[in-house]
Amino acid sequence: MRKKIDRQLVTIYGVAVVLIVFALVSRESFRSLTSIGNLMAQAAPLGVVALGQTLVLLVAGIDLSVGAVASASTAIGATLINSSPQRMLLGVLAIFAFSAVVGLSNGFLVSFLNLHPLIATLSTSIVITGVTLLLLPYPGGYVDYNFSEIFNTRVFGLLPLSFVYLIILFVILLWILGQTAFGRHLYATGGNAEKARIVGVNVKKVR
């Protein structure tokens, strides 16, 4: 099993390296530091979403609501994060609270109502999309410049702070998965939920 996973990782990273090399060779503008920094900034939000989805996949689940949650979070931010530090704090707390409620709702539907993750998260996604359209029916909103700078500032003139935050989250996730009981429970639940339950893992709580 370990060798199979290693081969899969080698294949994934190999394809990524080939694509990067091809882009570097084929387009001169791609090799500029500005272009690389912009790519990092664009990749950071997707990377954060991917980290969350990784946890779902580890327990043999799937979450189709991540896109809707990201859109709703953007709408909440565009509505609340403006004009003052108090509003910024309110917006950030609202986004975290909203995301937590959605996550708990998905977990409840899957673990306690025994709905298939595909159906549960698709339903949640539809509801969230409706709420987002009620909150912000047309493109608009404003995010304070000072708040944006928290993510857009470049370290050493190249590395966006948003990408630095992504790296920090990635390291934390690696530590959780490799060094904590919760991480081991995630792997056990995804590998064989029934056996994990027999040895004492609270599968419903993990999911």
**pLDDT tens for each residue of 23-72:** 777 777 776 777 777 888 888 888 988 898 888 888 888 889 998 999 89
Distance CA 4, CA 12 (A): 12
Q: Please write the tens of the pLDDT for every residue from 146-200.
A: 777 777 777 777 788 888 888 999 999 989 888 888 888 888 887 777 777 877 7
The per-residue pLDDT for 4 is 53
User: 120 and 183, same structural domain?
Assistant: yes
pLDDT for res 83: 65
pLDDT at 35: 78
Same domain? 104 vs 17: no
Q: Is-contact 72 128, C-beta < 8 A? A: yes
Domains of the chain: total: 2
What pLDDT score does 38 carry?
A: 80
- Do residues 120 and 102 touch, judged by C-beta distance below 8 A? no
Asked if residue 58 and residue 15 are part of one domain, the reply reads no
Tens digits of per-residue pLDDT, 77-132?
Answer: 888 877 667 778 888 899 999 999 999 999 899 888 888 899 999 999 999 999 89
Residues 43 and 91 both lie in one domain: yes
pTM of the predicted model as reported, rounded to 2 decimal places:
0.78
In this predicted structure, what is the pLDDT of residue 20?
78
Domain housing 26: 1-31
β-sheet bridge partners, residue 159:
155
Residues 186 and 129 in one domain: yes
Residue 64 CA to residue 47 CA, distance in Å, equals 16
Looking at residue 171, its pLDDT comes to 92
Same domain, 53 and 149: yes
Instruction: Give the pLDDT of residue 2.
Output: 52
Same-domain pairing of 47 and 22: no
Alpha helices in 81-143 (DSSP H): 85-111, 117-135
Q: Is the same domain home to 3 and 104?
A: no
User: ∠187-192-193 over CA atoms, to 5°?
Assistant: 90
Spacing of C-alpha 197 from chain mean position: 27
Same domain, 199 and 112: yes
Cβ-Cβ contacts under 8 Å for 154 (sequence gap 6 or more) = 37, 160, 161
- Give the per-residue pLDDT at 3: 54
Q: Are residues 27 and 100 in the same domain?
A: no
Same domain as 122, residue 191: yes
Return the DSSP state at 28.
G
**Element spanning 159, H or E:** strand 159-160
CA 27 remoteness from chain centre: 30
Q: Are residues 124 and 184 in the same domain?
A: yes
